[in-house]
Protein backbone atom coordinates (compact mmCIF):
# COMPACT_ATOMS: atom_id res chain seq x y z
CA UNK A 1 0.00 0.00 0.00
CA UNK A 2 1.24 3.50 -0.80
CA UNK A 3 2.44 5.55 2.18
CA UNK A 4 -0.04 8.39 2.60
CA UNK A 5 2.82 10.79 3.34
CA UNK A 6 4.52 10.15 0.01
CA UNK A 7 3.56 10.96 -3.55
CA UNK A 8 1.92 7.92 -5.17
CA UNK A 9 2.98 6.93 -8.70
CA UNK A 10 1.36 9.09 -11.38
CA UNK A 11 -0.50 7.80 -14.44
CA UNK A 12 1.17 9.30 -17.50
CA UNK A 13 2.75 11.93 -15.28
CA UNK A 14 -0.45 12.96 -13.54
CA UNK A 15 -2.61 11.83 -10.61
CA UNK A 16 -5.82 9.92 -11.25
CA UNK A 17 -7.99 12.58 -9.65
CA UNK A 18 -7.63 16.21 -8.55
CA UNK A 19 -9.60 17.75 -5.71
CA UNK A 20 -10.22 21.36 -6.82
CA UNK A 21 -10.83 23.74 -3.94
CA UNK A 22 -11.27 27.43 -3.25
CA UNK A 23 -10.87 28.84 0.24
CA UNK A 24 -11.04 32.20 1.98
CA UNK A 25 -10.13 32.78 5.63
CA UNK A 26 -11.73 29.64 7.08
CA UNK A 27 -8.73 27.87 8.58
CA UNK A 28 -10.77 25.64 10.89
CA UNK A 29 -12.99 24.26 8.15
CA UNK A 30 -10.07 23.94 5.75
CA UNK A 31 -7.90 22.04 8.22
CA UNK A 32 -10.66 19.50 8.93
CA UNK A 33 -11.55 18.95 5.27
CA UNK A 34 -7.94 18.54 4.14
CA UNK A 35 -7.27 16.09 6.99
CA UNK A 36 -10.20 13.95 5.87
CA UNK A 37 -9.08 14.05 2.23
CA UNK A 38 -5.66 12.88 3.42
CA UNK A 39 -7.34 9.83 4.99
CA UNK A 40 -8.52 8.55 1.60
CA UNK A 41 -7.88 4.83 1.26
CA UNK A 42 -7.28 5.37 -2.47
CA UNK A 43 -4.16 7.52 -2.53
CA UNK A 44 -3.60 8.45 -6.20
CA UNK A 45 -4.85 12.02 -5.92
CA UNK A 46 -3.78 15.62 -5.61
CA UNK A 47 -5.47 18.58 -3.94
CA UNK A 48 -5.29 21.98 -5.64
CA UNK A 49 -6.04 24.77 -3.14
CA UNK A 50 -6.79 28.21 -4.55
CA UNK A 51 -6.54 30.82 -1.76
CA UNK A 52 -8.59 34.00 -2.20
CA UNK A 53 -7.07 35.63 0.88
CA UNK A 54 -4.46 38.25 -0.12
CA UNK A 55 -2.79 37.57 3.25
CA UNK A 56 -2.42 33.86 2.28
CA UNK A 57 -3.93 32.56 5.52
CA UNK A 58 -4.37 29.05 4.08
CA UNK A 59 -0.64 28.63 3.44
CA UNK A 60 0.16 27.57 7.00
CA UNK A 61 -2.76 25.12 7.09
CA UNK A 62 -1.56 23.38 3.92
CA UNK A 63 2.05 23.52 5.13
CA UNK A 64 1.15 21.63 8.30
CA UNK A 65 0.36 18.56 6.17
CA UNK A 66 3.83 18.31 4.64
CA UNK A 67 2.30 16.29 1.83
CA UNK A 68 3.41 16.88 -1.78
CA UNK A 69 -0.06 15.90 -3.03
CA UNK A 70 -1.44 19.14 -1.55
CA UNK A 71 -0.62 21.98 -3.94
CA UNK A 72 -1.21 25.51 -2.65
CA UNK A 73 -1.71 28.56 -4.88
CA UNK A 74 -2.33 32.07 -3.50
CA UNK A 75 -4.42 34.19 -5.85
CA UNK A 76 -2.75 37.36 -4.48
CA UNK A 77 -6.21 39.01 -4.55
CA UNK A 78 -9.78 37.97 -3.83
CA UNK A 79 -10.97 36.80 -7.23
CA UNK A 80 -14.39 35.72 -5.96
CA UNK A 81 -15.44 32.12 -5.44
CA UNK A 82 -16.26 31.32 -9.08
CA UNK A 83 -12.97 32.55 -10.56
CA UNK A 84 -10.99 30.97 -7.75
CA UNK A 85 -12.59 27.56 -8.30
CA UNK A 86 -11.85 27.82 -12.00
CA UNK A 87 -8.22 28.62 -11.22
CA UNK A 88 -8.09 25.31 -9.36
CA UNK A 89 -9.46 23.47 -12.38
CA UNK A 90 -6.90 25.13 -14.67
CA UNK A 91 -4.08 24.09 -12.32
CA UNK A 92 -5.30 20.51 -11.90
CA UNK A 93 -3.62 17.55 -13.58
CA UNK A 94 -5.95 14.62 -12.86
CA UNK A 95 -7.87 12.54 -15.35
CA UNK A 96 -10.88 13.27 -13.13
CA UNK A 97 -11.62 16.24 -10.88
CA UNK A 98 -13.64 16.70 -7.71
CA UNK A 99 -15.07 20.15 -7.02
CA UNK A 100 -15.05 20.58 -3.26
CA UNK A 101 -15.64 23.45 -0.85
CA UNK A 102 -13.50 23.86 2.25
CA UNK A 103 -16.39 22.92 4.55
CA UNK A 104 -17.89 19.78 2.97
CA UNK A 105 -15.91 16.80 4.33
CA UNK A 106 -15.61 13.58 2.34
CA UNK A 107 -15.41 10.10 3.86
CA UNK A 108 -12.19 8.02 3.66
CA UNK A 109 -13.61 5.44 1.25
CA UNK A 110 -14.99 7.96 -1.26
CA UNK A 111 -12.33 7.70 -3.96
CA UNK A 112 -12.04 3.93 -3.67
CA UNK A 113 -15.78 3.49 -4.18
CA UNK A 114 -15.82 5.81 -7.19
CA UNK A 115 -12.66 4.28 -8.67
CA UNK A 116 -14.28 0.85 -8.43
CA UNK A 117 -17.31 2.20 -10.29
CA UNK A 118 -15.11 3.40 -13.16
CA UNK A 119 -13.79 -0.16 -13.50
CA UNK A 120 -17.23 -1.79 -13.29
CA UNK A 121 -18.96 0.79 -15.51
CA UNK A 122 -16.32 2.26 -17.84
CA UNK A 123 -16.86 5.09 -20.30
CA UNK A 124 -19.09 7.46 -18.31
CA UNK A 125 -18.21 11.09 -17.73
CA UNK A 126 -19.34 11.41 -14.11
CA UNK A 127 -19.43 9.02 -11.14
CA UNK A 128 -21.20 10.19 -8.00
CA UNK A 129 -22.27 8.90 -4.60
CA UNK A 130 -24.89 9.90 -2.07
CA UNK A 131 -24.28 12.16 0.91
CA UNK A 132 -25.39 13.21 4.36
CA UNK A 133 -26.31 16.72 5.52
CA UNK A 134 -24.95 18.11 8.78
CA UNK A 135 -26.89 20.89 10.50
CA UNK A 136 -24.67 22.77 12.90
CA UNK A 137 -27.50 24.76 14.48
CA UNK A 138 -30.91 23.84 15.87
CA UNK A 139 -32.74 26.72 14.16
CA UNK A 140 -31.46 25.82 10.69
CA UNK A 141 -32.29 22.16 11.28
CA UNK A 142 -35.85 23.02 12.26
CA UNK A 143 -36.21 25.27 9.23
CA UNK A 144 -35.33 22.29 7.05
CA UNK A 145 -37.50 19.90 9.11
CA UNK A 146 -34.38 17.94 9.96
CA UNK A 147 -32.48 17.02 13.10
CA UNK A 148 -29.55 18.97 14.48
CA UNK A 149 -26.40 17.05 13.62
CA UNK A 150 -26.12 14.49 10.83
CA UNK A 151 -29.05 13.59 8.56
CA UNK A 152 -29.15 11.16 5.65
CA UNK A 153 -29.68 12.70 2.22
CA UNK A 154 -29.64 9.44 0.31
CA UNK A 155 -32.09 8.87 -2.52
CA UNK A 156 -35.19 6.75 -1.96
CA UNK A 157 -33.56 3.72 -3.51
CA UNK A 158 -32.11 0.58 -1.99
CA UNK A 159 -28.98 1.28 0.05
CA UNK A 160 -25.94 0.78 -2.17
CA UNK A 161 -28.00 0.60 -5.36
CA UNK A 162 -26.09 1.55 -8.52
CA UNK A 163 -27.90 3.22 -11.41
CA UNK A 164 -26.51 4.28 -14.77
CA UNK A 165 -27.77 7.14 -16.90
CA UNK A 166 -26.94 7.84 -20.52
CA UNK A 167 -26.21 11.44 -21.60
CA UNK A 168 -29.79 11.68 -22.84
CA UNK A 169 -31.32 10.20 -19.66
CA UNK A 170 -29.39 12.09 -17.00
CA UNK A 171 -30.69 15.68 -17.42
CA UNK A 172 -34.35 14.77 -16.90
CA UNK A 173 -33.50 12.41 -14.03
CA UNK A 174 -31.58 15.24 -12.36
CA UNK A 175 -34.28 17.84 -12.95
CA UNK A 176 -37.39 15.83 -12.07
CA UNK A 177 -36.23 14.91 -8.57
CA UNK A 178 -35.37 11.27 -9.16
CA UNK A 179 -32.31 11.83 -6.98
CA UNK A 180 -34.65 12.55 -4.10
CA UNK A 181 -31.86 13.40 -1.67
CA UNK A 182 -30.22 15.76 -4.15
CA UNK A 183 -26.69 15.53 -5.51
CA UNK A 184 -23.54 16.98 -3.97
CA UNK A 185 -20.64 17.86 -6.25
CA UNK A 186 -17.96 17.14 -3.63
CA UNK A 187 -18.77 13.40 -3.81
CA UNK A 188 -18.56 13.31 -7.62
CA UNK A 189 -15.66 12.71 -9.98
CA UNK A 190 -15.97 14.31 -13.42
CA UNK A 191 -13.68 13.85 -16.40
CA UNK A 192 -11.43 16.90 -16.42
CA UNK A 193 -11.91 17.35 -20.16
CA UNK A 194 -15.68 17.53 -19.60
CA UNK A 195 -15.31 20.09 -16.81
CA UNK A 196 -13.23 22.27 -19.10
CA UNK A 197 -15.60 21.85 -22.06
CA UNK A 198 -18.60 23.14 -20.05
CA UNK A 199 -16.71 26.16 -18.77
CA UNK A 200 -15.83 24.85 -15.31
CA UNK A 201 -17.70 26.35 -12.39
CA UNK A 202 -20.62 28.26 -14.00
CA UNK A 203 -20.11 32.01 -14.06
CA UNK A 204 -23.47 33.70 -14.52
CA UNK A 205 -22.98 36.46 -11.96
CA UNK A 206 -23.87 34.53 -8.80
CA UNK A 207 -22.85 31.25 -7.16
CA UNK A 208 -26.48 30.35 -6.33
CA UNK A 209 -27.19 26.87 -7.76
CA UNK A 210 -24.04 27.07 -9.89
CA UNK A 211 -22.98 23.70 -8.47
CA UNK A 212 -26.28 22.26 -9.73
CA UNK A 213 -25.70 23.66 -13.21
CA UNK A 214 -22.21 22.13 -13.14
CA UNK A 215 -23.55 18.67 -12.26
CA UNK A 216 -26.37 18.88 -14.80
CA UNK A 217 -23.99 19.86 -17.60
CA UNK A 218 -21.35 17.29 -16.59
CA UNK A 219 -23.81 14.40 -16.66
CA UNK A 220 -25.25 15.52 -19.99
CA UNK A 221 -21.94 15.00 -21.84
CA UNK A 222 -21.06 11.34 -21.25
CA UNK A 223 -23.66 10.11 -18.79
CA UNK A 224 -23.47 9.32 -15.10
CA UNK A 225 -23.16 6.41 -12.68
CA UNK A 226 -24.70 6.91 -9.23
CA UNK A 227 -24.26 4.77 -6.13
CA UNK A 228 -26.69 5.27 -3.25
CA UNK A 229 -24.03 5.22 -0.55
CA UNK A 230 -22.98 8.23 1.55
CA UNK A 231 -19.49 9.32 0.55
CA UNK A 232 -19.37 12.70 2.30
CA UNK A 233 -21.50 15.36 3.90
CA UNK A 234 -22.79 18.81 3.21
CA UNK A 235 -22.39 21.18 6.15
CA UNK A 236 -25.10 23.76 6.88
CA UNK A 237 -23.93 26.51 9.20
CA UNK A 238 -24.03 30.28 9.68
CA UNK A 239 -20.97 30.92 7.51
CA UNK A 240 -22.42 29.43 4.33
CA UNK A 241 -26.10 30.35 4.48
CA UNK A 242 -26.65 34.08 4.38
CA UNK A 243 -29.97 35.78 5.03
CA UNK A 244 -28.50 39.27 4.79
CA UNK A 245 -29.85 41.93 2.45
CA UNK A 246 -26.43 42.05 0.77
CA UNK A 247 -27.27 38.61 -0.64
CA UNK A 248 -30.51 39.64 -2.38
CA UNK A 249 -28.99 40.90 -5.63
CA UNK A 250 -27.02 37.68 -5.93
CA UNK A 251 -30.22 35.66 -5.48
CA UNK A 252 -32.03 37.85 -8.02
CA UNK A 253 -29.51 36.96 -10.74
CA UNK A 254 -29.83 33.20 -10.25
CA UNK A 255 -33.02 32.13 -12.11
CA UNK A 256 -32.34 33.71 -15.47
CA UNK A 257 -28.57 33.22 -15.18
CA UNK A 258 -28.93 29.50 -14.42
CA UNK A 259 -31.31 28.92 -17.33
CA UNK A 260 -29.23 30.90 -19.84
CA UNK A 261 -25.86 29.40 -18.86
CA UNK A 262 -27.17 25.83 -18.72
CA UNK A 263 -29.16 25.86 -21.95
CA UNK A 264 -26.29 27.45 -23.90
CA UNK A 265 -23.94 24.64 -22.82
CA UNK A 266 -26.18 21.60 -23.10
CA UNK A 267 -25.25 19.26 -25.99
CA UNK A 268 -26.55 20.32 -29.37
CA UNK A 269 -30.12 19.19 -29.96
CA UNK A 270 -30.70 18.12 -26.34
CA UNK A 271 -32.87 21.08 -25.33
CA UNK A 272 -36.29 19.61 -26.08
CA UNK A 273 -39.50 21.35 -24.92
CA UNK A 274 -39.64 18.80 -22.07
CA UNK A 275 -36.10 19.59 -20.93
CA UNK A 276 -36.64 23.35 -21.20
CA UNK A 277 -39.79 23.07 -19.10
CA UNK A 278 -37.97 20.87 -16.58
CA UNK A 279 -35.10 23.38 -16.25
CA UNK A 280 -37.52 26.25 -15.68
CA UNK A 281 -39.49 24.23 -13.13
CA UNK A 282 -36.30 23.17 -11.32
CA UNK A 283 -34.96 26.69 -10.90
CA UNK A 284 -38.39 28.10 -9.99
CA UNK A 285 -39.00 25.48 -7.30
CA UNK A 286 -35.57 25.73 -5.72
CA UNK A 287 -35.41 29.50 -5.67
CA UNK A 288 -38.92 29.71 -4.24
CA UNK A 289 -37.88 27.39 -1.41
CA UNK A 290 -34.88 29.65 -0.82
CA UNK A 291 -37.08 32.77 -0.67
CA UNK A 292 -39.49 31.01 1.70
CA UNK A 293 -36.59 30.04 3.99
CA UNK A 294 -35.45 33.67 4.24
CA UNK A 295 -38.96 34.85 5.06
CA UNK A 296 -39.48 32.12 7.66
CA UNK A 297 -36.15 32.93 9.25
CA UNK A 298 -37.24 36.55 9.56
CA UNK A 299 -40.56 35.45 11.07
CA UNK A 300 -38.84 33.12 13.54
CA UNK A 301 -36.43 35.82 14.67
CA UNK A 302 -39.10 38.53 14.69
CA UNK A 303 -37.26 40.55 12.06
CA UNK A 304 -39.09 42.98 9.77
CA UNK A 305 -37.15 43.60 6.59
CA UNK A 306 -38.47 46.16 4.07
CA UNK A 307 -35.41 45.33 1.94
CA UNK A 308 -36.49 41.71 1.65
CA UNK A 309 -40.08 42.59 0.81
CA UNK A 310 -38.88 44.93 -1.93
CA UNK A 311 -36.60 42.20 -3.27
CA UNK A 312 -39.36 39.58 -3.04
CA UNK A 313 -41.81 41.64 -5.13
CA UNK A 314 -39.17 42.22 -7.81
CA UNK A 315 -37.97 38.62 -7.69
CA UNK A 316 -41.37 37.06 -8.40
CA UNK A 317 -41.82 39.32 -11.42
CA UNK A 318 -39.00 37.47 -13.20
CA UNK A 319 -40.36 35.26 -15.96
CA UNK A 320 -39.18 31.94 -14.44
CA UNK A 321 -40.61 32.91 -11.03
CA UNK A 322 -44.05 34.35 -11.82
CA UNK A 323 -46.03 31.15 -11.49
CA UNK A 324 -44.39 30.47 -8.09
CA UNK A 325 -45.60 33.69 -6.48
CA UNK A 326 -48.84 32.12 -5.25
CA UNK A 327 -47.05 29.08 -3.80
CA UNK A 328 -44.73 31.43 -1.93
CA UNK A 329 -47.67 33.44 -0.58
CA UNK A 330 -49.55 30.35 0.62
CA UNK A 331 -46.46 28.81 2.21
CA UNK A 332 -45.48 31.84 4.28
CA UNK A 333 -48.99 32.92 5.23
CA UNK A 334 -50.87 29.61 5.51
CA UNK A 335 -48.18 26.97 6.16
CA UNK A 336 -50.63 24.35 7.46
CA UNK A 337 -52.78 24.71 4.34
CA UNK A 338 -49.69 24.38 2.16
CA UNK A 339 -48.62 21.17 3.92
CA UNK A 340 -52.15 19.78 3.52
CA UNK A 341 -52.02 20.60 -0.19
CA UNK A 342 -48.73 18.71 -0.54
CA UNK A 343 -50.18 15.69 1.28
CA UNK A 344 -53.18 15.66 -1.09
CA UNK A 345 -50.86 15.78 -4.08
CA UNK A 346 -48.98 12.74 -2.77
CA UNK A 347 -52.27 10.84 -2.57
CA UNK A 348 -53.61 11.99 -5.93
CA UNK A 349 -50.29 11.81 -7.79
CA UNK A 350 -48.12 9.16 -6.12
CA UNK A 351 -44.53 8.85 -7.36
CA UNK A 352 -44.02 6.39 -10.15
CA UNK A 353 -42.14 3.27 -9.09
CA UNK A 354 -40.24 1.50 -11.81
CA UNK A 355 -40.43 -2.29 -11.44
CA UNK A 356 -37.21 -4.03 -12.49
CA UNK A 357 -37.60 -5.73 -15.83
CA UNK A 358 -40.66 -3.69 -16.78
| CA–CA dist 43, 185 (Å, integer) | 20
**pLDDT tens-digit map of 210-265:** 999 999 999 999 999 999 999 999 888 665 445 566 689 999 999 999 999 999 99
| Domain locations in the chain as residue ranges | 1-103, 104-358
Supply the pTM of this predicted model: 0.88
pLDDT at 334: 80
Strand partners, 51: 23, 74
Q: Render pLDDT for 242-254 as a digit per residue (tens, 0 to 9).
A: 556 668 999 999 9
pLDDT at 238: 61
DSSP string, 288-356: HHHHHHHHHHHHHHT---HHHHHHHHHHTTSGGGGGGHHHHHHHHH-HHHHHHHHHHHHHHSPPP-PPT
Q: What is the CATH number of domain 1-103?
A: 3.90.550.10
Q: Residue 301: pLDDT above 50?
A: yes
- Per-residue pLDDT band for 347 (boundaries 50, 70, 90) equals very low
Q: Which pLDDT score, from 0 to 100, does residue 15 have?
A: 96
Amino acid sequence: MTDKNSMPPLHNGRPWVSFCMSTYRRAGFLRKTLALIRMQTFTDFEVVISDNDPEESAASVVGELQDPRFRYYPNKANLGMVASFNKSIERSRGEFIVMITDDDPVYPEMLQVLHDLTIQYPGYGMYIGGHDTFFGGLLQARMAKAHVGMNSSLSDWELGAVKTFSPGEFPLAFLDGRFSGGLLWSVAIVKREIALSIGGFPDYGTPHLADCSYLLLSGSRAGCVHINTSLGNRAIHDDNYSYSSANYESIYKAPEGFIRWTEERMPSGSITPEIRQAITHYIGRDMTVYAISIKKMHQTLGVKSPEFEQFRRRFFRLAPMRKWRRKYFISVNYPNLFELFLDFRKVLFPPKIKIPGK
